Structure 1
Amino acid sequence: MSVLIVIPARYASTRYPGKPLVALTGASGKKQSLIERSWRAACAVSGVDRVVVATDDDRIREVAEGFGAEVVMTSETCANGTERCAEAHAALGGRYDVVVNLQGDAPLTPHWFVEGLVQGLKDMPEAEIATPVLRCDGATLNSLLGDRKAGRVGGTTAVFSADNRALYFSKEVVPYTGKPYTEAEMTPVFHHVGVYAYRPQALAQYPSWPVGPLEQLEGLEQLRFLENGRSVLCAEVEAKGREFWELNNPEDVPKLEAMMAKMGLE
């Protein structure tokens, strides 16, 4: 099974313009751009045939090529990372069995998250897309709730059926728990990790589907699959002692840097 990882990156982010080029300082004091750290995370995944950065911006292309990444230029009309992945895959000949979307704002994504998604598609042939979910401990849940209370859009949560098929994704914290948790206590809330593994046929069809009301309201690209009746596998992954967070807002930079320092990530 051939695997392509695409790292979609755009400069003109509404919430955080220029985000892919933001420098993050690691445990050793080494500074690297967000896009480079995401690329290095992708290169650490086993069983992958090719890793590319997909962008529509020459500034990102120049930086990415500068640290050795292969870049595929895509159009400015891509509405989200999934559409950019579809365009990049087509530009590369559309010949891969699995296309992974490792979003450029998730540099702390452990390699086993992605490897678990590819395995999930192997194990569930009827699934057309797989995405990881991570059970929140009390500290993570409190951080999500804190973002919402402060009016910030932080992480995304997921709810799914007993056979791990996605029911819904939201930028709100779902399900409602109605009780406090200690920092180390495990909760019934699952943090959705912004990584996707697609079967090529579903990925190719995605840009032709209309944007539904749920995707429009939440601003979550994966909801287009659910609104079009497609099967999305939520693959539960384990942190294995690693902390995880995405760079969604400028306030997340010190949080990510603190996590890298704690984990000794350069």
Structure 2
Amino acid sequence: MPTLIVIPARYASTRYPGKPLVELTGASGEAKSLIRRSWDAAMQVKGVDRVAVATDDDRIREAAEAFGAEVVMTSEACQNGTERCAEAFDTLGGGFDVVVNLQGDAPLTPPWFVEELIEGLKKSPVAEVATPVLKTEGEALNGFLDDRKAGRVGGTTAVFGIDNNALYFSKEVIPYTGKTYGDDDETPVFHHVGVYAYRPSALAAYSRWNAGPLEKLEGLEQLRFLERGVHVLCVEVEGRGRKFWELNNPEDVPRIEAMLKGMGVA
């Protein structure tokens, strides 16, 4: 099944303008832009036929082309990464059975997260969309809670049924546990990893729908699928000792740089 990875990136982020061009220093001491590190993460994924950056900003286009990325220019009207992926897919002429949205703010995404995600969608008889979820340890969960207390938007959490179909995604920490966890404790909370795999029919439908009330309240694009009754498969992945965190706020930069250095990523 031909597979395309699209890395949507926009400059005019409400919470963090210019985020794709923020530089992150790794273990070698070399600073690389967020979009470059996201591209590097995408290029490590096996079984992918094409990778492209999708943006509406010439500054991002120039930066991406400078390190050799294929870039697709998309409309400023795209409300989120899913709409941008849909437009990029059409611009490239289709021809792919699976389209992966590897969001440009998750440079720590291990390749097996994406590989297992793609395999999960291919194997599912009903899922039209799939997304990875990672069971949190206390350290990550406490980080989520600290962000909430400080009024910052941190990681997204997911709850799903026994069939692994998503029930809900939230920027709040769900489910409520009422417990305190040590850094190494396993918790029942799942971190939603901001990657999606779509069947082309789901992408085409998404672009025709208006955002629903839950998507507007949470600011989470995947809720548009749930509000329309689309099956979103949650694929549980394992960190295998790797740390994972998205760049949502300026405060996340030193955290991610420390993780890059701890993993020996140049």
TM-score (norm 2): 0.99
For the pair 1:9 / 2:9, whether they are aligned, the reply is: yes
Counterpart of 1:224 in structure 2 is 224
Counterpart of 2:54 in structure 1 is 54
* Structure-1 separation of matches of 2:122 and 2:60: 33
Counterpart of 2:141 in structure 1 is 141
Q: CA deviation at 1:124?
A: 0.5
* Structure-1 separation of matches of 2:87 and 2:20: 19
* Structure-2 separation of matches of 1:239 and 1:73: 33
* Structure-1 separation of matches of 2:116 and 2:3: 13
* Structure-2 separation of matches of 1:125 and 1:81: 25
Counterpart of 1:102 in structure 2 is 102
Q: CA deviation at 1:206?
A: 0.4
String of CA shifts for 1:75-99, please: whole Å, max 9, x gaps.
Answer: 0000000000000000011110000
Percent of residue pairs bearing the same amino acid type: 74
Q: What are the equivalent positions in structure 2 for 1:116-131 lying under 5 Å apart?
A: 116-131=116-131
Which amino acid in 2 is paired with 1:74? T
Which amino acid in 2 is paired with 1:6? V
Which amino acid in 1 is paired with 2:241? G
Which amino acid in 2 is paired with 1:156? T
| Unpaired segments ≥5 residues, structure 2 | none
For this pair of structures, how many residues does the alignment match? 266
Which amino acid in 1 is paired with 2:78? C
Q: What are the equivalent positions in structure 2 for 1:78-227 lying under 5 Å apart?
A: 78-227=78-227
| Unpaired segments ≥5 residues, structure 1 | none
Which amino acid in 1 is paired with 2:4? L
String of CA shifts for 1:180-235, please: whole Å, max 9, x gaps.
Answer: 01110100000000000000011111011111000000000000000000000000
TM-score (norm 1): 0.99
Q: CA deviation at 1:159?
A: 0.2
* Structure-1 separation of matches of 2:125 and 2:33: 37
Which amino acid in 1 is paired with 2:44? A
Q: CA deviation at 1:125?
A: 2.2
String of CA shifts for 1:18-42, please: whole Å, max 9, x gaps.
Answer: 0000000001101100000000100
SS of 1:68's partner is coil
Counterpart of 1:70 in structure 2 is 70
* Structure-2 separation of matches of 1:37 and 1:260: 10
- The list of structure 1 runs, each at least 4 consecutive aligned residues, that deviate by more than 6 angstroms after superposition, is none
